[in-house]
Amino acid sequence: MFMGEYQHNIDTKGRIIVPAKFREGLGQTFVVTRGLDKCLFAYPMDEWKQLEEKLKQLPLTKKDARAFTRFFFSGAVECEIDKQGRINVPAPLRSYADLSKECTIIGVSNRVELWAKEAWDEYVEDSEDSFSEIAENLLDFDI
């Protein structure tokens, strides 16, 4: 399980340090793709394979299903952690998530998310006011 929040800079070559607490769970090779809310999602290979199987079950006749799977898979890349604990985030993914200098890396249960620091700060600020309302809406899910 991934949890926590970490700050790291991405360098001009697109390399960013993966927090040590996330490295073991992600494994040496893992998948990074476009996520929701203008961030990147990183999945360990076993989680990625499970997600892939679920997405394969979506009906091709549904426009939203086709659009989501295209969006999700076309941005996906396998990343490998180097000896310094970094990965190289490809330019299209950096551009999608506006990763240019300061980044926030968070653990979200079965995945890791990479955010531009400003975008994460704004997301947190916007969500803080509605957090109790969001929690109340999730009571139906026995949380």
Distance CA 52, CA 62 (A): 17
Instruction: Write the pLDDT tens digit of every residue in 30-81.
Output: 999 999 999 999 999 999 999 999 999 999 899 999 999 999 999 999 999 9
Number of domains into which the chain is organized: 1
The answer to whether 88 and 94 are in contact (CB under 8 A) is no
Residue located via tokens 């026995």: 142
Handedness of CA 28, 118, 5, 44 (dihedral sign): negative
Distance CA 96, CA 34 (A): 7
The whole-number pLDDT of residue 96 equals: 97
Domain span holding position 25? 2-141
CATH of the domain at 115: 3.40.1550.20
**What would the two tokens of residue 131 be?**
């957090």
Instruction: Write the pLDDT tens digit of every residue in 75-118.
Output: 999 999 999 999 999 999 999 999 999 999 999 999 999 999 99
